[in-house]
A and B are shown apart, each in its own frame.
Chain A
Amino acid sequence: MAWILDHLPRILELSLAHLLLAAPAIAAAFLVAVPIAWAANRVRPLREIVVSGTGLLYAVPSLPLFIVLPIILGTGVRDTLNVIVALTIFGLALMVRSAADALDSVDGGVRLASTAVGYSAALRFFTVELPLAGPALLAGLRVVSVSTISLVSVSAVLGVQSLGSLFTDGFERGIVPSIVAGIAFTAVLALLLDLLLVAAGRLTMPWVKGGRR
């Protein structure tokens, strides 16, 4: 505890760095996954490809992806962009699948009824399908958020600064509290982001009682 208090400024700095890597990746994964999922649901053969494609991405271990990705991006291994893109890809592997299921779960009758009363396809998507799929989308987003926060630290072995640096520093210098602090702050960060998402869900979807777990 004393160690944590002594090093609090450094820990908070690393927490911020951690968040700045995770948050853009989580947001990007969500924003890219929803249209892909929507398209996959409309074109069935595409769905097959998307589902098995994201399954394949899910199989790829994180550290090797951090290393392979720069070939495609033309960045360095330690670049922030490289880490964010890699995290986005992992987010997509989880989110596309759950977004496709979420959008697919919207009651066909409701969809048909809104078309019948004269909604255009685009209007129907934004005013009917998206809100109704909302709770399931949020559930998927929360899983992505937690796992992204935990994945960020892997990049520390490459020298990228994040809460993961507390693990590498702690290991190399034999400081147990450093590692414990890293685990604790990662958990706190994940929890805070999760609460934020739940709150955002309550705000945008007031009709869902109690939130979905």
Chain B
Amino acid sequence: MGIEFQNVNKTYPDGTVAVDQFSLHVPSHTSTVLLGSSGCGKTTLLRMVNRMVDPSSGAVLIDDEDVAGVEPVALRRRIGYVMQNSGLLPHRRVIDNIATVSRLNGVAKAAAHRRAHELMETVGLDSALAQRYPGQLSGGQQQRVGVARGLAADPNILLMDEPFGAVDPLVRLELQRELTRIQSELHKTIIFVTHDIDEALTLGDQIVVLKKGGEVAQIGTPQQIVESPADDFVAQFLGLDSARRTLSAAPRDDGGWFVSDAQGRPLGVVDSLPQHPGQNA
């Protein structure tokens, strides 16, 4: 069960190969992050799931059913989609934006609005904002509305395309925390696209590091990837060879250890350092 990419390939008419022979299993109720810089085909892969893009060859399966056989409009209505710059309808109020998919699915207006109000609470939006238009909200608030809209039809799958890419770093951290909380309650199957390593490490149960053309550099848990990067590309991409992630510890006067990075920037303290299994004290 879950989402399965089977040898998918996407070649555009002009000959550009966006994705070449990509395979991946996304387990149900977990979040998978597609991590890579621009041009690695991560958004193309994401959009294959709800058929915004159809693969040139290969197949995408949801719970063992090939999506190619599902009518795109119906498919999209049962998959949540959250994108950068929110993509909200500027001429509809917040409440109606969130209720869009429910209304498309034929839910009565009152019920759709009730559901939308619940979702506003879920994503941490003040219900006073319900009657505002998207243009009257801050960037962070708009993204919350985007998340709420993605959740409106109670989809099993949530596709997130750099949803927090356009908000400032502080708001971004807050939205990431919020998403972690929501996921711990709802357990959706999430595919999350980002080029931000820290975001990937925070949000992914599974991380897929991509090179150009959708070539997989490494698949693993955040810990596996940081602990043992598959190759120089991954190490470099994560910044493991840079000063930022090369940590050192120094004993503190009143016990414990003081941790800093290679530039000497203080990061925090730890009570004790675990002994490396292969090392003699």
Q: Do chains A and B touch in the complex (CB under 8 A)?
A: no
Chain A contacts to B: CB under 8 angstroms = none
